[in-house]
Amino acid sequence: MIYDICIIGSGAGGSPVAYELANAGYKVVVLEKGNYYTEEDFSKDEVAVCRRELYTPPLHEQKHIINEYSASGKYTRYDGEESGWNFWNGSMVGGSSNLMSGYFHRMKPNDFELRSVYGEIKGANVVDWPISYEELEPYYEKVERIIGVSGKVKEHTYQEPRSTPDFPYPALKTSKVTKWFDAACEELDIEFFETPRAILSQNALNRDACYYSNFCGSYGCSSGAKGSARAALLQKCDAKIITDAFVYRLEAKEGRVTKAYYYTKNRIKHSINAKIFVLAAQAIETSRLLLNSSSKEFPHGLANSNKEVGKNLIFSAGGAGSGRFIFEKLTPEAQKELMEPGVFFNRSLQNEYDYDDGCRKYKGGTIDFLFEHQNVISRATQEIYNEEGNLIWGEELQKKIHKRLTSSRVLTFEIFNDWLPTDNCNVNVDANVKDIYGVPVGVINVNSHPHDLAVGEHLAQSAVEILEQMGAVEIEYSISSSPPPNLVAGGCRFGDDPRSSVLDKNCKAHELDNLYVTDASFMPTGGSVPYTWTIYANAFRVADVIKKEIESSFKDTN
DSSP per-residue string spanning 47-103: HHHHHS-SSS--TTTS--EEEEE-TTS-EEEEEHHHH--------BTTGGGGT---B
Q: Is the pLDDT of residue 197 over 50?
A: yes
Q: Is the pLDDT of residue 295 over 80?
A: yes
Q: Average pLDDT for residues 72-90, to the nearest whole number?
A: 89
Structure confidence by residue, pLDDT tens digits, 90-136 = 899 999 999 999 999 999 999 999 999 999 999 999 999 999 999 99
What is the reported pLDDT for 558? 45
Question: What distance in Å separates the CA atoms of residue 132 and residue 29, rounded to the nearest whole number?
Answer: 31
Structure confidence by residue, pLDDT tens digits, 455-464 = 999 999 999 9
What H or E segment, with its residue span, contains residue 283? helix 283-291
The more confident residue out of 389 and 53 is: 389
What is the reported pLDDT for 305? 96
Q: Average pLDDT for residues 428-451, to the nearest whole number?
A: 95
Question: What distance in Å separates the CA atoms of residue 289 and residue 437, rounded to the nearest whole number?
Answer: 13
Edge-to-edge strand ranges of the sheet holding 75-79 = 75-79, 65-69, 440-446, 426-434
- pLDDT band of residue 173 (cuts 50, 70, 90) is very high
* 276: β partners: 5
What is the reported pLDDT for 10? 98
- pLDDT band of residue 556 (cuts 50, 70, 90) is low
Q: Is the pLDDT of residue 300 over 90?
A: yes
Structure confidence by residue, pLDDT tens digits, 508-530 = 999 999 999 999 999 999 999 99
Q: What's the whole-number average pLDDT of the chain?
A: 94
| Residue 546 near residue 123 (C-beta atoms within 8 A) | no
Q: Roughly what angle, to the nearest 10 degrees, separates helices 532-556 and 15-23?
A: 40
Question: What distance in Å separates the CA atoms of residue 265 and residue 477, rounded to the nearest whole number?
Answer: 42
∠ CA 464-466-467, rounded to 5°? 65
- pLDDT band of residue 51 (cuts 50, 70, 90) is low
Domain spans of the chain?
A: 2-556
**pTM score, whole prediction:** 0.96
Structure confidence by residue, pLDDT tens digits, 417-431 = 999 999 999 999 998
Structure confidence by residue, pLDDT tens digits, 222-263 = 999 999 999 999 999 999 999 999 999 999 999 999 999 999
Q: Please, which residues have CB within 8 angstroms of residue 70's CB and are 6 or more apart in sequence?
A: 76
Indicate the class that CATH gives domain 2-556. Answer: alpha beta
Q: What percent of the chain has pLDDT over 90?
A: 82
Separation in Å, CA 27 to CA 21, 238, 401: 8, 9, 55
Q: Average pLDDT for residues 366-389, to the nearest whole number?
A: 87
Q: What percent of the chain has pLDDT over 70?
A: 99
Q: Is the pLDDT of residue 472 over 50?
A: yes
What H or E segment, with its residue span, contains residue 400? helix 394-406
CA of residue 411 relative to chain centroid, distance: 22
